[in-house]
Structures are given as C-alpha cells and as structure tokens.
C-alpha cells in the first residue's frame, strides 16, 4: 500500500501538484490518468522519490519516504520495479543480460542463481529461447515482455509502469496490460500505472485516479468511471470516438 497525503510540488512559481490525497492498494493495478500536462509524470516522480514535494507525505506501508534515512531509502529502492515508457532496454546487452541487470546491481549471489531467476521470469512472461538475442532482434511486444521480466526479477513489492503499452497495437497492448495485472495479483504487488489509454482503464483499472491541472478530481473503479457524471472525467473518457459510440448505444438501450 502507498498512501499519499496532501502532496504539493511546484517548479519556480508554477504550482504543478496542488495537494494530492489518495491511497494505492496492494495486490491491485492502480491507474493514474488525466490529460497531457495534468501532472501525472510529476506525481509519479514524487512517488518514486525523484522529486521532493514541498509539502505532504508519501507512505510506503507505514513509513513516509520523508522520514527515511539514506539506508532506508536504498532498501526501498530495492523493493521497487520500474517499467519505463518504451521499455528502455539496453541495446548493447542481450535479453539475458538486460533481465539480469537489476540482480547484479542489488544482489551478490552466484551467476548460476541469477541465471535461474532470469530464466524463471522470462518463462513467466512467456518468453523462452530468446536469451542470447538482442533487443533489436525481437518485436516491440516481446521487448515489453523483457522489460516486464526485468522489472520483476528482483521480486519487487511495488511496481511502477509509465505508459506501458505505448507504441503497441491494441491486441498486444491488451496482452501486456493483462500480464501486468496477473503478475500484480500473483505476487500481491502494489502496482501503479500511468496511462492515457482508455482500453487500459477498462481492462485493468481496479483503482483509477484522475488528475486535472494538478488536482485529483475523481477516483474510483473502472466500473464506476463509465457511470460517473463528473464532467471532467466524462470529457476525458468520451474524447475517444470508440467510447462515444459505446455511450450512444448505451443511451439508446436505456
């Protein structure tokens, strides 16, 4: 669980986050959505401790990052898996080396133990016999699976995903979303996904937090988001032609 209390973040005179309060649940896929420029990435960076809020607290389980000493923050970083936008694999490393990278950084077990773990996570993301290939030699969807394998190789308690399915076709995007959700449930991870994608909201939005101009203006489940009358949320949800059509059909049937 991650609890956010009254988080404010500015750059110079520009207030970007204006007092965010929420909770991200353990064992669930928690989504942060909102229009471009609403503050999603700044919020994500505050959660990760990369930006320091001027005001407010962010609790990981029962301890706020603001109260952690350097060693406690290092220990926390070990428990966080990160899936970057675009996958961000190292082009010069093969798949096995990419996935092994966090293990080599954070643990000092034998190489054969590392390899066993790498093979286990690659199997979990349904990628076998690709160990010696390089990122450029596999498809975009496979690269995302490798990035997921790398994000979970250290058995994180918290998983952050920034636009995890950008650049993928809709079917592959759904497969990646579902994989993130399955892994979240299996390992009881607190997962936070920043996304623009309404299909992701529909598929995996167990908790959805909607930001507008640095304020959290709505939160709820993916079931609730399609029923709310909140104008900002409906403008966002029904900005896609597909969802507009779904609403028209629903209204006709009602």
Ligand X SMILES: Nc1ncnc2c1ncn2[C@@H]1O[C@H](COP(=O)(O)OP(=O)(O)OP(=O)(O)O)[C@@H](O)[C@H]1O
Interacting residues toward ligand X by CB under 6 A: 11, 16, 34, 36-42
Q: Mention every residue, 6+ apart, whose C-beta is less than 8 A from residue 107.
A: 114, 154
Least separation, in Å, of the C-beta of 40 and ligand X?
A: 4
* List of long-range contacts for 35-43, beta carbons under 8 Å, 24+ apart: 35/212, 35/236, 36/196, 38/211, 38/212, 38/213, 38/214, 39/9, 39/211, 39/213, 39/214, 40/194, 40/211, 41/162, 41/194, 42/9, 42/16, 42/17, 43/7, 43/9, 43/17, 43/211
Least separation, in Å, of the C-beta of 89 and ligand X?
A: 21
Least separation, in Å, of the C-beta of 16 and ligand X?
A: 4
Least separation, in Å, of the C-beta of 149 and ligand X?
A: 25
Nearer to ligand X, 38 or 222 (CB): 38
Nearer to ligand X, 16 or 99 (CB): 16
Nearer to ligand X, 83 or 146 (CB): 83
Distance CA 208, CA 221 (A): 6
Nearer to ligand X, 26 or 196 (CB): 196
Nearer to ligand X, 34 or 102 (CB): 34
Length of the chain: 254
Least separation, in Å, of the C-beta of 20 and ligand X?
A: 12
Question: With contact defined as beta carbons under 8 Å apart, do 30 and 191 qualify?
Answer: yes
Distance CA 12, CA 19 (A): 17
Give phi and psi for 218, each to the nearest 5: -160, 145
Least separation, in Å, of the C-beta of 8 and ligand X?
A: 13
Query: What distances in angstroms separate CA 136 from CA 29, 143, 146, 230, 234, one per listed residue?
Result: 29, 9, 12, 44, 40
Nearer to ligand X, 18 or 57 (CB): 18
Residue pointed to by tokens 């096995």: 96
Nearer to ligand X, 34 or 87 (CB): 34
Distance CA 186, CA 189 (A): 8
Least separation, in Å, of the C-beta of 11 and ligand X?
A: 3
């Amino acid at each position: 669980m991650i609890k956010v209390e009254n988080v404010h973040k500015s750059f110079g005179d520009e207030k970007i986050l204006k007092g965010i309060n929420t909770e991200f649940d353990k064992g669930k896929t928690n989504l942060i959505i909102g229009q471009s420029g609403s503050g999603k990435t700044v919020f994500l960076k505050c959660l990760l401790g990369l930006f320091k809020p001027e005001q407010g607290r962010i609790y990981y389980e029962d301890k706020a990052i603001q109260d952690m000493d350097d060693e406690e923050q290092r220990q926390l970083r070990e428990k966080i898996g990160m899936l970057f936008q675009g996958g961000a694999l190292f082009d010069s490393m093969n798949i096995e080396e990419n996935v092994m990278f966090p293990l080599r950084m954070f643990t000092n077990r034998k190489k054969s133990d590392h390899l066993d773990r790498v093979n286990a996570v690659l199997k979990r993301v349904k990628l076998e016999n690709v160990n010696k290939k390089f990122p450029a030699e596999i498809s975009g969807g496979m690269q995302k699976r490798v990035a997921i394998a790398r994000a979970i190789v250290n058995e994180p308690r918290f998983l952050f995903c920034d636009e995890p399915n950008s650049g993928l076709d809709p079917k592959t995007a759904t497969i990646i979303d579902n994989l993130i959700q399955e892994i979240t449930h299996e390992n009881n991870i607190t997962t936070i996904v920043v996304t623009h994608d309404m299909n992701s909201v529909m598929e995996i939005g167990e908790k959805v937090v909607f930001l507008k101009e640095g304020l959290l203006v709505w939160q709820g489940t993916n079931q609730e988001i399609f029923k709310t009358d909140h104008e900002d949320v409906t403008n966002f949800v029904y900005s896609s032609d597909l969802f507009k059509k779904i609403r028209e059909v629903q209204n006709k049937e009602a």
